[in-house]
Chains A and B, each alone.
Chain A
Amino acid sequence: MKKFAVVAAMATAFLGSTSAYAVDLEVTHWWTSAGEAAAIAEFAKVFEEETGNNWVDSALAGSGTGANPVIISRIIGGDPMGATQMNTGRDAEELIQAGLMRDLTDVVADMDLDSFYVDPKLLDNCRYEGGLYCLPINIHSWDWLWLSTAAYEKIGQPVPTNWDEYVASWPALQEAGILPFGLATGWPFSGIPGVLMSALGGPELINRVYVDKDPEAVRSPEFRRVVEALDSLRQVVSPETMVPSFGDVGTQLLEGTAAGNIHGDWLAGDLQVAGGVPGEDYECLPALGLGQQLGGGGDSFYFPKLPEGTDPAVIEAQAQLARILISPEAQLKFNMVKGSMPIRTDIDLSQANPCMQKALALLPNGLLPTGDSNLSSDAQQQTQDLNTEFLDDDSITIDDYVERYASIIESAD
């Protein structure tokens, strides 16, 4: 009798929680830091308000290296989620080729994407044989130098306005016991060589290395300058001073215990959550204060094909979410919190903070290609291994680095 009551109670609870039209849509992503989580919650809010469906949030830890494999293996293994964040790139391309992703052409047919997307090149990564398989929802860029106002107050120098001035200030910082360059362990280092390459080497070098995959470009004097900068960087970074996560570097910058950091624009979200005010507590220099273009990649959403027999309402919810993600309202709310640039040109961004304004000013110059979207993850893993090794092993000379990088680029596809 008692058992019966429990079952009955559970059944009513279950029925009560799902109204006739509301369905659950599972969304996977790896936005787990404080700033990022606040941003994705904005999407969830708009989605639930407008459609009445439930956004089932499956945040995965470990970013591109930890979460991406989980997402891929779930899709390959026949347990797809309703929608997922994924980096546009070669991995996604293979999943599209294998027919595991939903074609969104019809879903967004009446929205005229080309009229409002900032850079049509963003969508190129999503197109495959006439179909559209993903939607870039923001432009994120690694190309930022973050500087601590407090640290420079301590040594009585003005905050640098570009990379060269910043490097020149290192000896004074070290003398004052301030860490010239704050760094987190693990993946945050992997983005730094690319940033140096686009800022110090310029658009031509980036194109020749990432797009043409020309090993001679790697052996050029321009690339050498990049490696020299990396070499000077490893002199001021040591394993003992590294912190566990990039959010901790943000804290170091606000406290003034570290003077600077190269990290993607998503650090801005964390700095904001921690109470930092751009221009007062920290300075941001896009393209290290040297370049005129940002390297941009899209964070994109993919909608895996759901298995046979899925509730049609869930499939409809996929389409609704796709349209909402790129709607002006959701775009504005999401990107304001995240600190990244929206993909739409037709929304009012006058409230954006000074860092975002700087980035918006550079957008009309077009975006630089990035390693993320042009190299296979195999080649990326190899360059990352090389960078990790170079950072800690001073016996690898600049020449060794150049040769090994050239051979990776040569065999990259």
Chain B
Amino acid sequence: MADTAAPLAMGAERVDRPGLLQRIFLHNVPAKIAALPMVATVLVVFVGCVAWTIYYSFTNSKLLPTGKFVGFDQYERLFATSRWNVSVWNLIAYGSMSLVFTLVIGFILAVLIDQKIRFESAFRTIMLYPFALSFIVTGLVWQWIMNPTLGLQGTLRGLGWTGFTFDWIANPRMVLFALLIAGLWHGTGFCMVLMLAGLRGVDEEVWKAARIDGIPTWRTYVSIVIPMMRGVLVTAVVIIGSGIVRLYDLVVALTNGGPGISSEVPAKYVFNYMFSGGNIGQGLAGATMMLLTVLIIMIPWAYLEFGGKGRRT
């Protein structure tokens, strides 16, 4: 496109040659005007707010963003706070488990549904339904189910199975798994639907060829189908990943960070210190660290994915 347009432009304006700036700003003007609102949004909302956040994380702002520059004080305090450190480890533990289990379970469910079963749409609806609920509702539902005295444990004990114990939600060592159950219940259905779309995108001819070659079904999935589903997998990872980093409402509804601080997450720390704690500097330092973590993961990946020419998918 650019190759054909440049000679034309040069032919039209032979007298004063178009410089680089002119090419950038005047080439295909309507498209640029159409993109302006989005460009403005990105600059103001994303880049602008990120810059604002990072700047104020270096100040001692309390309730209002009016503080003085204090260097890395807020970060020093952040890393010395046990609640923050527990939050970070919780997020890493929950995040890695959640990512792996959502992908694996989602894929297996998709494969099962893809076997040309009866009532496929009914199953699909059932599996996808939890995704239609908000995290707050999900959290409250599971809070009732897992509450030791009112929920499953209490019911089964009441029915005579007195040795039954399911108190994960009240047990500091197991509470992350309680969160994981609720998170998986909520998220796997959506992952399944994405995977199913990917599976359906694989040409029937590929399956026929594999069958003629006598390749076992599982091997076909692992070596042929999954590599062909790369685009869908990347989409799924990005969606699940962003859900993990901003994990907040599920925790608030299900455990509120408890027992003690054993299920705290970074987003909750940021929210607490910005609003109820009246310490914007501290909250924004936490937010900046969250952004930094995401960038550390995203930049190498983006470099591999989009960096080299000719490797674009």
Contact = CB atoms under 8 A, between A and B. Distances in A.
B170 A381 contact: no
A69 B276 contact: yes
B258 A94 contact: no
A238 B82 CA distance: 21
Contact of B83 (A241, A385, A392): A385
Nearest to B275: A69
Interface in B36-80: 62-64, 77
Interface string A287-308: 0000000000000000000000
Which interface residue of A65, A66, A186, A377 has the most chain B CB atoms within 10 A?
A377
A378 B282 contact: yes
B258 A388 contact: yes
A72 B260 contact: no
Contacts of A95: 63
Nearest to B63: A94
Interface in A93-130: 94-95, 98
B278 A377 contact: yes
Contact of B272 (A240, A376, A381, A393): A381
B243 interface: no
Interface string B78-114: 0001110000000000000000000000000000000
Contacts of A141: none
B259 A239 contact: yes
A231 interface: no
Nearest to A90: B278
B172 A392 contact: yes
A390 to B, nearest CB: 8
Contacts, number: 78
SS class, residues of chain A in contact with chain B: helix
SS class, residues of chain B in contact with chain A: loop
Interface string B272-283: 110111110010
Contacts of B278: 90-91, 94, 376-378, 381
B261 A239 contact: no
A185 B258 contact: yes
A381 B260 CA distance: 14
A240 B64 CA distance: 39
Nearest to A94: B63
B256 A185 contact: yes
B258 A239 contact: yes
A238 B273 CA distance: 26
B149 to A, nearest CB: 7
A64 interface: yes
Contacts of B188: none
Nearest to B148: A240
A24 to B, nearest CB: 27
B288 interface: no
Given A388-B261, A389-B260, A238 B282 contact: no
B272 A72 contact: no
Contacts of B82: 389
A315 B272 CA distance: 34
A68 interface: yes
A391 B278 CA distance: 24
7 contacts: A241-B149, A376-B279, A378-B277, A385-B83, A392-B258, A392-B259, A393-B260
Given A241-B149, A377-B63, A381-B278, 6 more contacts: A68-B276, A90-B278, A94-B278, A238-B170, A388-B260, A389-B261
